[in-house]
Amino acid sequence: MNVPILKVAHLSKSYGGVRAVANVSFEVVSGERLAIIGPNGAGKTTCFNMLNGQLAPDQGKVEFEGRDIAGLKPRQVWRLGVGRTFQITETFGSMTVRENVQTALLSRHRRLRSLLTLAARAYANEADALLARVGVLDLAARACAVLAYGDLKRVELAIALANRPRLLLMDEPTAGMSPRERGELMRLTSELARRESIAVLFTEHDMDVVFNHAERILVLNQGELIADGRPTEVRVDPRVREVYLGNRFADA
């Protein structure tokens, strides 16, 4: 349980002289749920995108299960066992929910070059099992383009799980959802993380979600890591209170 699967060391990124992320280091252990928070422009997204491969860091190391993944492309990062969901859902709208998951499964088994076999039956059972796990099996034959937002988030989760990830990166997982849906999605995520010991690293604006579902919280401000600890510790950290939480949180 205490083996770190992700080690981030001295991660930095600048845009035209402005340091978006400066010398950030942290570790994530297997099965842990970790939130990254911070005010707008704190560098959360930049930091996130350096972990999932969308951005290459200027400096620093990102080690996943002992392997440096900094600068790898998203598709390579994914192959190593890092799944992700997007802030605004990204699914294949013209394909059915089942086909979405099947595509991910086919990719995992490196069968997407196959030109003349029929994909419809490939990994259909496995896909359905994943859909059942996230609770959208009844929608399997619907096109993603016609799904409700909350359901899409679940489909994304199923797609992310298709590669049996050890680490799940979720960018603002509950953005755009109703409070009820937020709770449900995060409960589902926590449960999956626990059951399959998947580490979950997520950014989030909603403090209820953060404090209810994260085991550890990282706080970024102006690209620097200013706090790293359990919710109870972060809650009382004077620096965090000063730059970000302010009095809003004192009442909670």
Task: Using CB under 8 A, list all residues that contact another protein.
Answer: 52, 73-76, 78-79, 84, 86, 90-96, 99, 102-104, 106-108, 111-120, 122, 141-143, 145-146, 159, 162-163
Residue 62 or 210 having the CB closest to another protein? 62
Residue 89 or 221 having the CB closest to another protein? 89
Q: Least distance from C-beta 91 to another protein, angstroms? A: 6
Q: Least distance from C-beta 147 to another protein, angstroms? A: 11
Residue 5 or 160 having the CB closest to another protein? 160
Q: Least distance from C-beta 43 to another protein, angstroms? A: 21
Q: Least distance from C-beta 140 to another protein, angstroms? A: 10
Q: How many residues in the chain?
A: 252
| Residue 237: φ, ψ to 5° | -65, 120
Q: Least distance from C-beta 113 to another protein, angstroms? A: 6
Residue 35 or 101 having the CB closest to another protein? 101
Residue 176 or 183 having the CB closest to another protein? 176
